[in-house]
Amino acid sequence: MRSRLGVNVDHVATVRQARKAAYPDPVEASLLAERAGADQITVHLREDRRHIQERDVEVLRRVVKTELNLEMAATTEMVTLALKYSPDTVTLVPERREEITTEGGLDVVAGKDHLQRVIRLLKDGNIRVSLFIDPDLDQVRAAHKLDAHAIEIHTGRYSESRSFKERSDELMRIRDSAKAAAKLGLGVAAGHGLHYQNVIPVARIAEIVELNIGHSIVARALMTGMEAAVKDMVELLKEAALAKT
């Protein structure tokens, strides 16, 4: 059975926020993604609201027919919002204001007391909780101890690896962590930096049942849609030429 695909639509909102316009709409993109076979819509509501806005989460909660996965920092503000909008899953991620994207996994070992309280609050709100962690066995064990439902393995280092050796070592770490987590009864997802050329070795790991992919899908959508978008504008200009004043 193939891995479930969570489509992360953050960067549709990045383009919208570049102009503070009403489009492109991540909600519309989510509905198209679902129509194309996505099993889940994933969004990261960041503290600085650089792409997804609270209103996007509110509307997505109402219209997503598959599942909604909200990535968020483990802060009081975000827990309140998660309980308000009730996504199917919350994926807790570390967040640094100045980072371009989520740079590393959560340190579940060091942050266990705080995370335990946050996980409890979310679980009491009937939300499935996943922890975004590096492929590290200590982190996997700590996630299990905190009674999270699932982990998402950070594939950033794998995606950015430059040499064959670095890549296969990282893949091995991902595989070992996935197997250990599944053995402990945790659901196992993976994501970050996955694209059309590097996804297959990760998707082949039996224990990884879900992949969350954003940037590469949004980037490809731009390229595959460019020709049609330009043609539509040329057609409009032709129409206008018929009635030039």
User: Residues interacting with ligand PXP, by CB under 6 A?
Assistant: 8, 10, 44, 71, 91, 93, 101-102, 132, 152, 191-194, 212-216
Torsion of CA 159, 164, 168, 174, to 10 degrees: -10
Least distance (Å) between residue 231 CB and ligand PXP: 28
Least distance (Å) between residue 122 CB and ligand PXP: 15
Nearer to ligand PXP, 133 or 146 (CB): 133
Of the candidates 11, 51, 67, 71, the residue annotated as catalytic is: 71
154 an active-site residue?
A: no
Least distance (Å) between residue 213 CB and ligand PXP: 4
Of the candidates 11, 44, 51, 149, the residue annotated as catalytic is: 44
Nearer to ligand PXP, 52 or 142 (CB): 52
Nearer to ligand PXP, 134 or 152 (CB): 152
71 an active-site residue?
A: yes
188 φ, ψ (degrees, to nearest 5): -125, 120
Of the candidates 51, 144, 149, 192, the residue annotated as catalytic is: 192
149 an active-site residue?
A: no
Nearer to ligand PXP, 72 or 146 (CB): 72
Least distance (Å) between residue 239 CB and ligand PXP: 38
Catalytic residues: 44, 71, 192
